[in-house]
Amino acid sequence: MHIRNFSIIAHIDHGKSTLADRLLHATRAVTQREHRDQILDSMDLERERGITIKASAVTVQHEYKGETYQLNFIDTPGHVDFTYEVSRALTACDGAVMVVDSTQGVEAQTLANAYLAIENEVELIPVVNKIDLPAADPDTVAMEIEAILGLPAEDCIYCSAKTGEGIGPLLDTICEQLPAPRQAVIPETRALIFDSHYDEYRGVIVYVRVFDGELKVGDRIRMMGTGTTWTITELGRNTPQPEKVDRIGTAEVGWIVAAIKTLADVRVGDTITHDKHPAAEPLPGYEEPKQMVFCDFYPATADVDSGKRTDFESLREAVEKLQLNDASFTFEVQHSEALGFGFRCGFLGLLHMEIVQERLEREGGVEIVQTAPTVTYKVNTTQNGTMEIHNPMDLPDPSQVQAIREPIVKVEIICPDEMIGDLMSLCDGRRGIFKTQQFVSTGRQMLTYELPLAEIIFDFYDKLKSITRGYGTMDYELVEYRVDRLAKVDILVNGDPVEALSLICHRDNAEVRSRNILKALRKQIDRHQFEIALQAAIGGKIIARESIKAVRKNVTAKCYGGDITRKRKLLEKQKAGKQRMKSIGSVNIPQSAFLAILDQGDG
């Protein structure tokens, strides 16, 4: 039997999931009754956001020229945050269908994913979708695909996933043009893990593509990266309904259940082999998930004193539960002077961070206070060591810091011509280095910039969207860690540094950033009976200052018989307010001040 392993790559909303559904229909894998919109997206959140977060695989049969083809359709997460997962899913494929919306054209994510496919030596079939729409301009879009990706315009398949037009030819092209999977190269078994899900009843479900040998129920298997061993209790594939099988042979795709309790035991990209007859070398390309963006989650309790413990516990429960489902975010307990106990969490990217927060709140039922995201810095110390820090608090004393390196990303932006100027100013203002400006089609261009990741994690995307009135799209990938004139800015309240407020920023922006922070702080801290000096300093040198005037008068003029109870209650409220605040030296700082600062971005 012929096997074709492929995936669909697309920009958000270009119709990937609808096309996948249509393909399943066309192969009669799904009856009308079972049809739910976008079958492959299994989480509510995915369906709501119109994006696919976790990959799955579906196996269907298709007749082509009188022969039966087993089509293994591997879904990929579309977003750049999950680049590594996408690349593993693509590695499991031999080809990919690249979908472009005929009313929108090539977008930044289309490119990012296409590049990934090309890097992974995956054959691409370009598809121009949504040709049923009145605004469709498939020829122009096909030309865009040729201009940018060098795929001949005449090779593009025009289709409408909605009406079914062009679906038959697409299936035929998949069978005809995509390469057959490679044959086994070694006798021992090697299977690539390209995804995993957590199931409450069966534990972890591991999705694999077998490259060499085979897997059978009852096999004792070993994960070559983590070294753990398990016994296979179930094998199966989705057709799309789960269907148990006895074996998964070379070049086939399916899932494994092996009483694995947590996702942390399974690493996407790892190689499974037999415990008794292991392969000598794993399949190439395994990497640990890399967290790029960090922020703190605290329970959103107004009253820091009471209830802190229980709210923290429910947050911990939610975080731990979520990690069973998503091993790519990390967490460790964090204690903030102002916000109490919480977690410092690491994410693959910004979208990943948002998704985790939403899932914690939705699935875990906890309300969360999220601090401003920061990136990971690599610090060269005078002891010739290198340390990674993702919290300004952890930066060593300036005297021990030789250099601070920050992550630089290559950003690709596709947008209408007339907004290019404004976008370039935006990038220049964020320490961007212009790389290229490229024609996409009449009226649209692609800008490439190198930007520090730290400069885009606050509000860059929002700004981009507002400059381009929603038409601009962007994608980014990590280029390298680069040394720059970065410095830790300490915020001092009456001379005492407040660690939770310190930040790392570029020396040239430090004054402006600091001043914004001090101004925000000034609004949040109540006046005291003495003047409060607010200062920002780099290595002891003051770079900005503000002050909060002393209260000279805080006295109620009248207190007679009828005023006593009310007055006492008023003062008790004042007292309770004071106790809720964090004392820095003799200055009381409310929790809101810490959050206002963290919300600052680059002001």
What residues line the site for other proteins (CB under 8 A)?
529, 551-562, 564-569, 571-572, 574-575, 578
Residue among 333 and 564 whose Cβ is closer to other proteins:
564
Which parts of 311-425 are beta strand (E)? 330-336, 340-347, 368-370, 374-375, 377-381, 386-389, 401-416
Largest Cα–Cα distance of the chain, in whole Å? Answer: 101
Q: How far is CA 65 from CA 69, 123, 164, 172, 583, in A?
A: 10, 21, 20, 9, 78
Tokens at residue 144, please?
């865009």
Q: Which is nearer to other proteins, 67 or 563 (CB)?
A: 563
CB atoms within 10 A of CB 98: 27
CB-based contact 3:251 (threshold 8 Å): yes
Compute and round to an integer the Cα radius of gyration of the chain. Answer: 28
Residues 24 and 42 sit within 8 Å (Cβ to Cβ): no
Q: How far apart are the first and last CA of the chain?
A: 61
| Min separation Cβ 576 and other proteins, Å | 9
- 529: CB partners within 8 A, 6+ apart: 550, 551, 554
Residue 1 or 557: which CB sits closer to other proteins?
557
Which is nearer to other proteins, 182 or 523 (by Cβ)? Answer: 523
**CB nearer other proteins, residue 177 or residue 586:** 586
Smallest separation (angstroms) from other proteins to the CB of 546: 19
Identity of the residue, 66 or 562, whose beta carbon is nearer to other proteins in the bound complex: 562
Select 259 or 551, whichever has its Cβ closest to other proteins: 551
Quick one: 201 or 560, whose CB is closer to other proteins?
560
> C-beta of 554: minimal distance to other proteins in Å?
5
Distance of CA 27 to the CA centre of its chain: 33
Kindly state the smallest distance separating residue 526's Cβ from other proteins, in Å: 10
Residue 435 or 578 with smaller CB distance to other proteins: 578
C-alpha distances out from residue 116 to 55, 94, 184, 446, Å: 16, 13, 24, 18
CB-nearer residue toward other proteins: 259 or 559? 559
With CA atoms as reference, report the closest residue to 583 among 513, 528, 543, 542: 528
Q: Using the 8-state DSSP alphabet, how is residue 94 labeled?
A: S
**Pairing mode, if any, of strands 123-129 and 95-101?**
parallel
Query: Cβ of residue 588: shortest distance to other proteins, in angstroms?
Result: 11
Tell me 27's DSSP state: T
Q: How many residues does the chain have?
A: 603
Q: ∠205-211-217 over CA atoms, to 5°? A: 45
Shortest CB 309 distance to other proteins, Å: 22
CB of residue 303 to other proteins, shortest distance in Å: 18
Percent helix, strand and coil across the chain, each to the nearest 5: 30, 35, 35
Collapsing DSSP states into helix, strand and coil, what is residue 564?
helix
Residue ranges of E strands in 399-520:
401-416, 433-441, 444-452, 473-483, 486-493, 496-497, 503-506
Smallest gap from Cβ 197 to other proteins, in A, equals: 54
Which residue lies nearer to other proteins by CB, 220 or 523? Answer: 523
Nearest to other proteins of 2, 528 (CB atom): 528
Report the nearest approach of other proteins to the CB of residue 568 (Å).
6
**Residues in a beta bridge with 233:** none
Closest CB 566 distance from other proteins, rounded Å: 6
Query: CA 587, CA 115: separation in Å to the nearest integer?
Result: 54
- Residue placing its CB nearer to other proteins in the complex, 384 or 565: 565
Q: Which is nearer to other proteins, 243 or 303 (CB)?
A: 303
Q: Give CA angle at 535 (531, 541), nearest 5°.
A: 135
CB of 585 to other proteins, least distance (A): 13
In whole angstroms, how close is the CB of 528 to other proteins at the nearest point? Answer: 9
For residue 47, count other CB atoms closer than 10 A to its CB: 15
Which CB, 185 or 555, lies closer to other proteins? 555
CA distances from 129 to 138, 157, 163, 549 (A): 8, 8, 11, 64
In whole angstroms, the minimum distance from the beta carbon of 450 to other proteins comes to 49
Under DSSP, the state recorded for 11 is -
Residue 464: CB minimum distance to other proteins, A: 38
CB of 592 to other proteins, least distance (A): 20
Name 420's Cβ contacts closer than 8 Å, sequence gap at least 6.
437, 445, 447
